[in-house]
Chains A and B, each alone.
Chain A
């Protein structure tokens, strides 16, 4: 019964205040859109950076040989540690947590010739599993270096997309012969375009890849330039790196604590750090958005206070007609909450439409490739709902308490 009374009175009065409510709603919609877009922008940036980060590879570490810096078992320091192809199976056999391991030779200034076009490029000899470790994926119609290429030391070549453009112009590269330091190679694939925000030895789009074995046969390099391994459980990255030092320390007789014997670039650790920075950025944006929304909340409270002042007489009349204080309190509280929620929902819907719309605009831009586009996630939505709820209750409660505490005699006299 009591709820019915409040509902009836509330509904009736609420309809009478369209203009005031509309203005308050606009403030809230604005505040909600601000926080949603700022958080969405942070989220979009995070996602884009994560995608770009995958350009290098996911959960990988790159290992280079180094020089010992601690004397070990009678051997002095300053001894060079170099990597070779036998290390690959050795490491994999002893550290089962390593999902994939591969090695590469590098050579810069390799001459590539196609027709009259001659360019000088970075050539890599590598193992086929670079495809998944380093995301060297072929475009449609082509393929990456495979195990048979490796086994038979085939003269096949996989081109970075940028190299393919510069060397062959508009010609279809697959199946064509090109000369690499005057040795004929068959193009088997061109790398699919990818975003890459970090690298060692140059961007993948600017290099050509040939089988590790073919490379060794042509150039005769005795040592690998580096080894790349990929782990499946990224949370154990540090542990696995320690194991690597132990295993290699045993093989090459260096102290497992000697961090200069090998140099390891653990991209997982970098990713963790990067995630923390991104989280910081998102908190920062959330605070800015939250403050904007807070201003809207203060606006709601303010408008409620003004409204109560204006409606003092109305409150007095209602009390004379038999309204309980709790009815008045609930009415004003409900009004504030409803306005807050209405504005919030409307703002969220508009933000969603705006971000979705923005995603669909086909703009080619380097800036967007780096920054990403605003994205609204479920977490953002829930966070904003929580903020709005707290705000709606606070913005309504204090004015409502004031309204319900007025003296009916005085408020009837109020002009």
Chain B
């Protein structure tokens, strides 16, 4: 599903070159639940941006379902983000002026879905995350846990294969954080591939596989640990 060969990502900020990823080899199979851990600045977010096709590698190869992401046009990348990937962010990243309903509708709009389908789909998704009664609430009228559930519903809108979650519980209290983690597990059981960045070792421990990053390199990819155990 996801395969990386020697992926390098470097940025130029002013006159200083900074290499965030220094040659990542990674293979994630369909249906995996992988947690990505590592200290700040280890390249977790950069890795996520590349996996999510928000950014492309400086060198190396990233194959997503057999297509080389580095070779795709900006429109094709947009299409992949729209159909194949669902994003869940630490800061929720909901449109502040829009209701829960309208936020979930965004990916469906960009996919060009018909109005009737959009309506049914949004209601279905919000019911699934337990927010059927908050359809017309704006983000300011919801708790953090509720906002993150809206974001998850939005990530699921176009039935993507991969859900990318960047510290999804980072801004939540432990109770609602636990609920969100539970929701991810349900999605995993329904067959989604889930990649989750986290600081929280307890959450990482619930994952099928833990990928540890350090200084832009993979410290452990979670496979050896499992075979040795």
Partners in one complex: yes
Q: Which residues of A contact B (CB under 8 A)?
A: 1-2, 4-5, 8-9, 12, 16-17, 313-314, 316-327, 408-409, 412
Min CB–CB distance A327 → chain B (angstroms): 7
If the complex has contacts A318-B106, A324-B75, A409-B54, are A1 and B112 also in contact, measured as CB distance less than 8 A?
yes
Pairwise interchain contact A321-B82, C-beta atoms closer than 8 A: yes
Most B CB within 10 A of own CB, among A8, A313, A316: A8
Of B75, B93, B102, B112, the contact of A317 (CB 8 Å cutoff): B93
Q: CA A17 – CA B112 in complex, angstroms?
A: 23
Question: Can you report 24 residue pairs joining A to B where beta carbons are below 8 Å apart?
Answer: A9-B106, A12-B102, A16-B97, A16-B98, A313-B93, A314-B95, A318-B106, A318-B110, A319-B54, A319-B78, A321-B87, A321-B110, A322-B78, A322-B82, A322-B158, A323-B110, A324-B79, A324-B110, A325-B74, A325-B78, A408-B54, A409-B49, A409-B55, A412-B54
B112 surroundings in chain A (CB, below 8 A): 1-2, 4-5
Supplied contacts A320-B93, A412-B89, 15 more A-B pairs, CB within 8 Å:
A1-B112, A2-B112, A5-B109, A17-B97, A313-B93, A317-B93, A319-B54, A320-B81, A322-B79, A322-B81, A322-B111, A323-B78, A323-B82, A325-B74, A409-B54
Give B46's nearest chain A residue, CB to CB. A409
A326 surroundings in chain B (CB, below 8 A): 75
Min CB–CB distance A4 → chain B (angstroms): 6
Min CB–CB distance B83 → chain A (angstroms): 7
Of A9, A320, A409, the contact of B109 (CB 8 Å cutoff): A9
Q: CA A2 – CA B79 in complex, angstroms?
A: 12
Q: Does B154 contact A (CB under 8 A)?
A: yes
Which residues, 69 to 116 on B, are CB-close (under 8 Å) to A? Answer: 74-75, 78-79, 81-83, 87, 89, 93-95, 97-98, 102, 106-107, 109-112
Pairwise interchain contact A319-B81, C-beta atoms closer than 8 A: yes
Pairwise interchain contact B110-A5, C-beta atoms closer than 8 A: yes
Min CB–CB distance A335 → chain B (angstroms): 14
In terms of DSSP, what is the predominant structure of the interface of chain A? helix
B102 surroundings in chain A (CB, below 8 A): 12
Min CB–CB distance A178 → chain B (angstroms): 84
Which residues, 140 to 166 on B, are CB-close (under 8 Å) to A? Answer: 154, 158
Q: Which residues of B contact A (CB under 8 A)?
A: 49, 52, 54-55, 74-75, 78-79, 81-83, 87, 89, 93-95, 97-98, 102, 106-107, 109-112, 154, 158
Min CB–CB distance A370 → chain B (angstroms): 55
A412 surroundings in chain B (CB, below 8 A): 54, 89, 93
The 7 closest A-B pairs by CB, nearest first: A322-B82, A16-B97, A322-B110, A324-B78, A321-B107, A322-B81, A1-B112
A318 surroundings in chain B (CB, below 8 A): 106, 110
Q: CA A298 – CA B120 in complex, angstroms?
A: 43
Q: CA A4 – CA B79 in complex, angstroms?
A: 16
Q: CA A321 – CA B75 in complex, angstroms?
A: 12
Of A16, A313, A325, A327, the contact of B110 (CB 8 Å cutoff): A327
Min CB–CB distance A316 → chain B (angstroms): 8
Q: CA A320 – CA B154 in complex, angstroms?
A: 11
B93 surroundings in chain A (CB, below 8 A): 313, 316-317, 320, 412
Pairwise interchain contact B106-A321, C-beta atoms closer than 8 A: yes
B87 surroundings in chain A (CB, below 8 A): 320-321
Give A7's nearest chain B residue, CB to CB. B109
Most A CB within 10 A of own CB, among B54, B87, B102: B54
Most A CB within 10 A of own CB, among B78, B97, B107, B158: B78
Give B164's nearest chain A residue, CB to CB. A320
A5 surroundings in chain B (CB, below 8 A): 109-110, 112
Q: CA A325 – CA B77 in complex, angstroms?
A: 11
Give B155's nearest chain A residue, CB to CB. A321
B79 surroundings in chain A (CB, below 8 A): 322, 324
Min CB–CB distance B11 → chain A (angstroms): 10
Q: CA A5 – CA B102 in complex, angstroms?
A: 14
Min CB–CB distance B80 → chain A (angstroms): 8
Pairwise interchain contact A322-B83, C-beta atoms closer than 8 A: yes
Q: CA A169 – CA B49 in complex, angstroms?
A: 97
Give A324's nearest chain B residue, CB to CB. B78
Min CB–CB distance B117 → chain A (angstroms): 13
Pairwise interchain contact B110-A9, C-beta atoms closer than 8 A: yes
A321 surroundings in chain B (CB, below 8 A): 81-82, 87, 106-107, 110, 154
A319 surroundings in chain B (CB, below 8 A): 54, 78, 81
Min CB–CB distance A331 → chain B (angstroms): 11
If the complex has contacts A4-B112, A5-B112, are A317 and B95 also in contact, measured as CB distance less than 8 A?
yes
B89 surroundings in chain A (CB, below 8 A): 412
Min CB–CB distance A39 → chain B (angstroms): 39
Q: CA A224 – CA B49 in complex, angstroms?
A: 100
Q: CA A322 – CA B106 in complex, angstroms?
A: 9
Give B94's nearest chain A residue, CB to CB. A317
B78 surroundings in chain A (CB, below 8 A): 319, 322-325
A323 surroundings in chain B (CB, below 8 A): 78, 82, 110
Give B50's nearest chain A residue, CB to CB. A409
Min CB–CB distance B73 → chain A (angstroms): 10
Give B111's nearest chain A residue, CB to CB. A322
Of A1, A314, A320, A325, the contact of B52 (CB 8 Å cutoff): A320
B52 surroundings in chain A (CB, below 8 A): 320
Most B CB within 10 A of own CB, among A4, A314, A321: A321
Min CB–CB distance A407 → chain B (angstroms): 8
A320 surroundings in chain B (CB, below 8 A): 52, 54, 81, 87, 93
Most A CB within 10 A of own CB, among B79, B95, B97, B109: B109
Give B87's nearest chain A residue, CB to CB. A320
Min CB–CB distance B210 → chain A (angstroms): 24
